[in-house]
Structure formats: structure tokens, C-alpha cells
Amino acid sequence: MTGQGWRGDALCAQTDPEVFFPEKGESNKSAKKVCAACPVAAECLEYALAHSDLVGVWGGTSAKGRQRIRERASQRAPLKSHAARGAAGAAVKRQRSQERSRRVVELHDQGYGTSHIAAVVGVTVDSVRRYVREAARREAA
Ligand code: SF4
């Protein structure tokens, strides 16, 4: 799994996060332009490829673009055993949940409302509240 030290150099952290989550029918070109100049685009893309539930533009790719890359990669190197698939599936599930939680808390800290966060991250409003509560609990511990 990719470490996340690269996030400190993420160019998108200095720009409007909205452009990275275009609504249906909106262009993602301005986000991709930022990614093209980002010094950690390769690490970001690797991370996004490992987290198939991520929405929006990561590493200069859309969710659909990443799906195509994954499909091509899996055709080249399919997982061999059922056990390997099970273990990989559990790990991916854990990573997805951690990523969702991180993204929710990040947007919450930026002042976005619960419904907006739920729509952007693709979780329920209750999940947003739960992630925020859990993060507050971790911080207080
Ligand atoms: S590649 Fe794009 S999405 Fe990834 S960190 Fe850089 S600017 Fe952000």
C-alpha cells in the first residue's frame, strides 16, 4: 500500500476542492490541469487505483478512467486463488472505510455541511455524522 506522506505536497490542497468533484455533465478539465502540475501525481494515482470507491479526480484521472486502468491491469495479472481474493477484498474494504472517514473529516474541517459531504463522498448522512463523531473521539483520547 502507498504511504500517505505525499499528501503534504498535494497541489489540490491549495485550490478549490470543488473542481475535483464535478457534478454530472460538468468538465473536470480544470482539476486535471492542476494534477498535471502536481509533484505527487504518481503517488496520488497509485493511491486512487488502490481505492476503487473514490469519486472525483485523483492523479489526473476520473473515476471512470481509473476503472479502465484497473480493468486492464487485472486482465494482465488476475489474482490466482480464492483465499488471495478474499484477503485482498478484506484489505480493500478496510482501506475504503479509512479513506471515506478521512475524506469526510477533511471536508467537515473545511466547513462543508453534512449533506454536501455525504453527496461528495458517496455515503449516507448518518455515516458522515458517525465518521465525525469517531474522529472527535479519537482526538479526545
Ligand atoms: S495529482 Fe491531483 S488530486 Fe492528486 S494530489 Fe495532485 S492535485 Fe491533488
Examine the pLDDT at 1 and tell me if it is beyond 50.
no
Atom 3 in ligand 1: which residue has the minimum CA distance? 58
Question: What is the domain count for the chain?
Answer: 2
Examine the pLDDT at 87 and tell me if it is beyond 60.
yes
| Span from the CA of 41 to the centroid of ligand 1 (angstroms) | 5
Q: Give the relative orientation of helices 63-76 and 41-49 as an angle to the nearest 10 degrees.
A: 70
Residues 38 and 96 in one domain: no
Using 50, 70 and 90 to split pLDDT, how confident is the model at 9?
A: very high
| Top-confidence range, 66-80, 96-110, 122-136 | 122-136
Show the cell assigned to 141: 483520547
| Span from the CA of 125 to the centroid of ligand 1 (angstroms) | 26
Cell 457534478 belongs to residue: 23
Residues 111 and 44 in one domain: no
- Selected residue with higher pLDDT from 99 and 64: 64
Candidates 43, 22, 23, 46; CA nearest to 32 is 22
What residues make up the domain containing 63? 1-78
Residues 73 and 90 in one domain: no
Residues 32 and 47 in one domain: yes
Residues 69 and 90 in one domain: no
- Selected residue with higher pLDDT from 141 and 27: 27
Residues 63 and 94 in one domain: no
**Cβ(59) to ligand 1 under 6 A?**
yes
What pLDDT score was predicted for residue 24?
86
3-state secondary structure of 33: helix
Give the residue-averaged pLDDT of 26-37.
93
What pLDDT score was predicted for residue 96?
79
Residues 129 and 90 in one domain: yes
30 vs 24: CA distance, rounded Å: 15
**Cβ(49) to ligand 1 under 6 A?**
no
Residues 94 and 62 in one domain: no
> How far, in whole angstroms, is CA 81 from its chain's centroid?
27
Candidates 69, 35, 36, 33; CA nearest to 50 is 69
Q: What is the dihedral of CA 134, 115, 8, 17, to 10 degrees?
A: 180
**Cβ(44) to ligand 1 under 6 A?**
yes
- Give tens-digit pLDDT for 90-121: 777 777 788 888 888 988 988 888 888 887 78
Residues 45 and 22 in one domain: yes
Of 22-31, 41-50, 79-88, 100-109, the one with minimum mean pLDDT is: 79-88
